[in-house]
Structure 1
Amino acid sequence: MNAETSRAISDPLPAKAGAQRVDVLIIGGGFGGMYAVYRFREMGLRLQAFEAGGDVGGVWYWNRYPGARVDLPSIDYSYAFSPEIEQEWTWSEQFAAQPELLRYIDFVANKLSLRPHFQFNTRVDQATWDAAREVWVVTTDRGETWEAPFCIMATGPLSIPKAPDIPGVERFKGRLIHAARWPHEPVSFAGQRVGVIGTGSTGIQIVQDVGPQAGELYVYQRTPSFTMPMRNVPLEADYVAEVKRNYPGIREAARNSAVGGVRPQSTRAFFSVTPAQRRSLLEDAWKQGGLAMLGTFSDLMLNETANEEVAEFVRSKIPEIVKNPDTAERLKPKGYPIFARRPCLDSSYYETYNLPNVHLVDCLSDPIVEISEKGVRTESGEIELDMLILATGYDGLTGAMLAVDVVGRDGRRVTQKWKDGARSCLGLMMEGFPNLFMTTGPNGPAALANIIRISEHDVDWIAAAMTHMKARGLSTIEPTAEAEESWMDTVRNLAKRSLITKAKTWWVGTNVKDKPSGLTMFVGGFQAYRQYAAAAADDGYRNFRFGPTSAPPTCEPRIAAADPVTGV
């Protein structure tokens, strides 16, 4: 598709007065938004992208907190669509830190000349479907109006920070910093009495970095997280050269894996080997580091007894590191399955609690009452602080999408459609919202697989759908209601089997007050998800409605009742 031929589906009627017209509008400047800009530009389409931050990078533009680091191997957490980029860029560490990730993002943006297509420091307030003219009308906080037949929501699963549900935050007179909106200038902790609220992945990274620097550090923990050693290492030149020679095979293996990466995945069931062998395999995984343990056995998210044995193995490691027995006991995660919350990786988290200036505040036995002008008050008393860091996470999966007032056909809003939880077809499109696409949507693999592999897959699927439409002179696409419900049945049936539902996390929406709870992510694995999405396209998009929005379905909807991959 080139710029001239794209007019057939991009200019049904002239733009309204004061509006600027393009072919595709892209909301978000993270990995998904960047690839979407490149992909659609190469198709010859006119486009405009918007990003709330001051540059590309998405979550990595904002996440500048101490210790911020990716928890997937760097060679996995990188684009696969460009052999040139793969060969020209060299990672320095097995798990890249935020500054290196931002340098990589900058390198890609410069290499592909992506920035001219973005409008930075811009939030999209509303996106409304104009059925008569078959365009999405987007308004921004700059007072501008843009129109395009297609709108891509590349807003990502982690974009909207969650404020703590604790009274008095606004009263604190010291320095208050949310980890997800960390200052761009250096922050000194020397001689400071610092508090950290939250001990998820972000909190763990902050604690192990700030602990040795602060005068005093108080860690407010409500739910302990399972964390395992990262075992990060510099990447040697010979290994990097070997990876570059073998990138095609590495990428193919990643695309055909459950996690969208090359972390080893075993088909071995936990109880299929002897207790001695199980212990040996777990010890080996602990020594390897990273998320090796998650891939050691195939049934850890299905077999509760097996899961508990692995959880107890990890708990048993904590007293071996933390010297104070009471602190070690309070750091042990209990009451939920291991890996049902986001698994964390650390380099010295438990060791940090051996420092005399680092103090654990157990908010289960001593709950936070309020944040005062001077610090944090728990039931046992007040601790005065100079600085308070909020590592309280995000309104995950749906927060960013719902932050935009998206209005579809017949005035239907996404806020109404999702009032009982996110729903879509394939996590890519929604019935009632023609030509609106999502990348890493909440009903796909989302947070359960490599987000870059998901983003590339989703953008390529969208591009193929557009090409299909152009070749047939079609103007709109949306899934049928039956197709959407069939997909959600698949998601729900798979979720019933998963132990993920047994933990209260942002994965299931329980971290945000009044948010509908439930596991809406596809837990069948990235490879199976790709097969579902490919089948929808290879079947001639039989489950989608094309043409003018008032037209009936092109054919009867059909999604198989029993899938060969998952059996549902």
Structure 2
Amino acid sequence: MSTPHASPGPAPTGPDELGLDIESLRARYRAERDRRIRPDGGSQYQRLDGEFGYYADDPYAEAESSREPLTDRVEVAVIGGGFGGLLAGARLRQAGVTSIRVIEKGGDFGGTWYWNRYPGIHCDIESYIYMPLLEEVGYVPQWKYAPGEEIRRHAQAIGRTFDLYRDACFQTQVTELRFDEAESEWIVTTDRGDRMRARFVVTASGTLSEPKLPGIPGITDFKGHTFHTSRWDYAYTGGDADGGLHRLADERVGVIGTGATAIQCVPHLGADAQQLYVFQRTPSSVDVRGNRPTDSDWAQSLTPGWQRRRMENFLTLVTGGPADEDLVDDGWTRTARLHQKLIPSESHRRQLPPEERERAYEAADFQKMNDIRARVDAVVEDADTAELLKPWYRYMCKRPTFSDSYLETFNRPNVTLVDTADSHGVERITEGGVVVAGREYAVDCIVFATGFEVGMSGVVTGRLPVHGRGGITLTEAWRQGPKTLHGFYSHGFPNLFQLGPLQNASAVNFVHVLDEQAAHVAAVVAAARDRRARRVEPSAEAEDAWVATIRQKAADLYRFQAECTPGYYNNEGRPRQRSESYGDGPVAFHDLLEKWRTEGGLDEVLVQGDGGTA
């Protein structure tokens, strides 16, 4: 299950030495980018509200259970029941907190794995490091890359193991947070009429929690059936997450979107629909998946601490650090040198001088993408279709995908790829079909595989109003940009913790990052309880110093992202001028947090009474 592995540093050779026509490749990448850039950027999408609100309905929950509005008190209210909220609840429980309420708009725990149950759904990170708290729950996943149903059931198992169902509020959405200065606690208002109180609030509403639809003209004119992949309609398609969509046997289906979701559901639609049209603006890079069942002998050989060791090994490798072996050994660790274009790290920067490092990265990138394009030629039988499926951009311009059945689907006679790049996407939707470049494709059903608003929690956008001391809102306090200490808490908003990548750290295995965040929050809350601190709140000076650190260490990725094809990584072709992530990467950031906790940092945020620190 492991292979010897040296530090995944950049290749020492440059593109010229490898015989690559670098200028031609760069020119092709720019030309393909320009075909897809739209003047409306991210506004080409629309939220699932207003006239589109029905797309967001919960198809999985039973009828909403009636209950009286809650006006009680809890010590910690956790907003969000995905892995972030579950980890926060679990780590707080381990820290001795007994009064915890998780508030979740879905009908159960699971977050994105509650909502997304489309056919073929699997995690694209190895399950042994992605599914958290495996040892605590006493479970080893059945597959190297677990199916969604296994992950969802594991989320429920975490809820049971840590007694988080006891006070949970499901089918409940928080509508406002307001700090009561006299009581030093938060008033939590919900759409169920609740007006509960909590000493601490942890927001963990996730980075993939708000589905989006394309703003295509005529989208409401279509007379057939439509749904978003995050609300898959099995009553219409038949089957389940393993496929068998038998009710589509006489249906013409169109899929709009070819990102990570489509890579997994398209093979099942292609197998069962009478006719499938895949409407593609930008092809994904599709590498070998190689999923396999868990080896029982390996599972029985695991020793205590195995998951933590494996998670840390993966994080070290994909951020450019050295390791004696590669425990995960998959498509992520084998392309580790390329990840710094998305998640920079101190380890990568140390390896070579900047100019030489960039040449090495570009060479490795061209090699990898050439391999990806060669795989398309090897798998897809029709030469014209194969050409359309080739990704012409740098490896980390879009999230890499992995599949052993997606490309093969286009060899089916009932599957047609429709390229929309030159028309900048689907032109319009009519009563009976989808129009691209003036041609109408008649369909009975449209599946929107158009993804989510990434990183845009309600707290950050203001859709969930947060009123701190003096009634000031968080959005008002952040008019000049986000201001936090370590990404967790802000001056003027006591006892409020935020989980997420903002002014924190990120990684391809974001659940690992969430676990580190949850452990940190639990440690701070435990210290506040032990020292009888009235509030947890950074000073304005500490906040300013951390913002300055973020600015100082921020990697300049603007030029790279501006050259990328449009997607959510580069804000649909409009890259942000600066990063809000810790520039030395997640390994260094986690070390920084541990050092801060053990060397007096807690004294900076624990406030006793109305005066100084505890």
TM-score w.r.t. length of structure 2: 0.76
Matched, 1:61 2:118: no
| Alpha-carbon spacing, 1:264–1:84, altered in 2? closer, same or farther (3 Å) | same
Distance change (3 Å), C-alpha of 1:194 and 1:526: same
Q: Partner of 1:116 in structure 2?
A: 166
Distance of aligned partners of 1:219 and 1:550 in 2 relative to their CA distance in 1, 3 Å threshold:
farther
Give 1:55 deviation, angstroms.
0.6
The answer for the alignment partner of 1:291 in structure 2 is: 332
SS state of the match for residue 211, structure 1?
helix
- Specify whether residues 412 and 167 from structure 1 end up closer, same or farther in structure 2 by C-alpha distance, changes over 3 A only: farther
Corresponding letter in the other structure for 1:62: W
Q: Structure 1 residue 474: deviation in Å?
A: 1.5
Name the CA shift for 1:292/1:349 in 2 (closer, same or farther; >3 Å).
farther
**1-structure distance, mates of 2:476, 2:257:** 31
Q: 1:371 to 1:48 in 2, by over 3 A?
A: same
Are 2:238 and 1:167 aligned? no
Q: Which of 482, 486, 495 pairs up with 2:555?
A: 495
Picking from 448, 470, 485, the partner of 1:390 is 448
Q: C-alpha root-mean-square deviation of aligned residues, in Å?
A: 3.1
For residues 190 and 159 of structure 1, do their structure 2 counterparts lie closer, same or farther at Cα, with a shift above 3 Å needed? same
Q: 2:488–2:499: 8 Å Cα contact kept in structure 1?
A: yes
Deviation at 1:196, TM superposition (A): 0.9
Shift of 1:422: 5.0
Amino acid at match of 2:274: G
Q: Structure 1 499/487 Cα, relative in aligned 2: closer, same or farther at 3 Å?
A: farther
Shift of 1:343: 1.4
- Alignment partner, residue 587 of structure 2: 527
Structure 1 stretches lacking a partner, 5+ long? 1-16, 269-287, 556-568
User: What percentage of residue pairs aligned between the two structures are identical?
Assistant: 31
Query: Paired residue for 1:404?
Result: 464
Partner in structure 2 of residue 178 of structure 1? 228
Q: 1:238-292 CA deviation, whole Å, 9 max, x = no partner?
A: 12212xx235144134236536xx8796759xxxxxxxxxxxxxxxxxxx75424
Structure 2 counterpart of 1:19, from 55, 71, 75: 71
Q: Which residue of 1 aligns with 2:266?
A: 207
Q: Retained in 2: the 8 A contact 1:315–1:333?
A: yes
Given that 1:208 and 1:348 are in contact with CA atoms closer than 8 Å, whether structure 2 keeps it comes out as: yes
Q: How far has the Cα of 1:57 moved from its partner?
A: 0.6
Contact 1:50 1:118 in 2 (8 A): yes
- 1:169·1:372 contact (CA, 8 Å) conserved in 2? yes
2:92 paired residue number: 40
Question: 1:131: Cα distance to partner?
Answer: 2.2
Q: Which amino acid aligns with 1:83?
A: E
CA deviations over 1:132-186 (Å, ceiling 9, x no partner): 3211111000011011121000111111111212222222221111112224656
CA deviation map 1:47-67 (0-9, x unaligned): 221101011111000001111
1:506 aligns with 2:568: yes
Q: CA deviation at 1:421?
A: 6.0
* Compared CA separation, residues 297 and 373, structure 1 to 2 (3 A): closer
The equivalent residue for 1:51 is 104
- Other-structure match for 1:351: 408
User: Where do residues 125-164 of structure 1 align in structure 2 (5 Å cutoff)?
Assistant: 125-164=175-214
For 2:130, the aligned partner's letter is Y
2:254–2:279 Cα contact (<8 Å) kept: yes
CA distance in 1, matches of 2:114, 2:209: 11
Alignment of 1:234-383 (within 5 A): 234-242=293-301, 245-255=302-312, 257-258=314-315, 290-295=331-336, 303=358, 304-306=361-363, 307-334=365-392, 336-366=393-423, 367-383=425-441
Work out whether residues 257 and 526 of structure 1, in 8 Å CA contact, stay in contact via their aligned partners in 2.
no
Once the two structures are superposed, residues 400-445 of structure 1 have per-residue CA deviations (whole angstroms, 9 ceiling, x without a partner) of 4333222223333233455676553322222332111122343323
Query: What secondary structure is seen at the aligned counterpart in 1 of 2:300?
Result: helix
Letter in 2 for 1:166: I
Decide whether aligned partners of structure 1 residues 18 and 339 sit closer, same or farther in structure 2, where only a CA change above 3 A counts: closer
Cα separation, partners in 2 of 1:236 and 1:246, compared to 1, 3 Å: same
Aligned residue in 2 for 1:414: 474
C-alpha deviation, 1:517, in angstroms: 7.2
Q: State the one-letter code of the partner of 2:221.
A: R
Whole-angstrom distance in 1 between the partners of 2:601 and 2:319:
34
Whole-angstrom CA distance in 1 between matches of 2:310 and 2:558:
24
Taking the aligned partners of 2:386 and 2:419, their CA distance within structure 1 comes to 11
**Alignment-derived partner of residue 135 in structure 2:** 83
Q: Secondary structure of the residue that 2:453 maps to in structure 1?
A: coil
- 411 and 337 in structure 1: CA distance in 2 versus 1, 3 angstrom threshold: farther
SS in 1 for 2:193: coil
Corresponding residue SS for 2:187: strand
Q: How many residues align?
A: 509
Q: Distance in 2 between matches of 1:144 and 1:452?
A: 30
Q: 1:288-334 CA distances to partner (integer Å, 9 max, x unpaired)?
A: 75424323678676735232332223222211111222221221222
Higher relative contact order (CA 8 A, sep 6+): 2
Q: Is it true that 1:228 corresponds to 2:268 in the alignment?
A: no
CA distance in 2, matches of 1:62, 1:92: 22
TM-score normalised by the chain length of structure 1: 0.81
- Which of 19-28 and 521-530 deviates more? 521-530
1:434/1:549 contact within 8 Å kept:
no
Is the contact made by 2:489 and 2:538 (CA closer than 8 Å) also made in structure 1?
yes
Q: 1:487 to 1:205 in 2, by over 3 A?
A: farther
> Aligned pair in 2 of structure 1 residues 84, 396: CA closer, same or farther (>3 Å)?
closer
Q: Which runs of 5+ in 2 are unaligned?
A: 1-68, 239-246, 324-328, 343-356
Change in CA separation of 1:437 and 1:370 when aligned onto 2, cut-off 3 Å = same
Mark the CA change 1:300 to 1:545 in structure 2 (over 3 Å): closer, same or farther.
closer
C-alpha distance in 1 between matches for 2:561 and 2:555 = 7
**Aligned match of 1:547 in 593, 607, 610?**
607
Report which stretch shifted further, 292-301 or 70-79: 292-301
Q: C-alpha displacement at 1:46, in angstroms?
A: 1.6
Kept in 2: contact 1:196–1:390 (CA 8 A) = yes
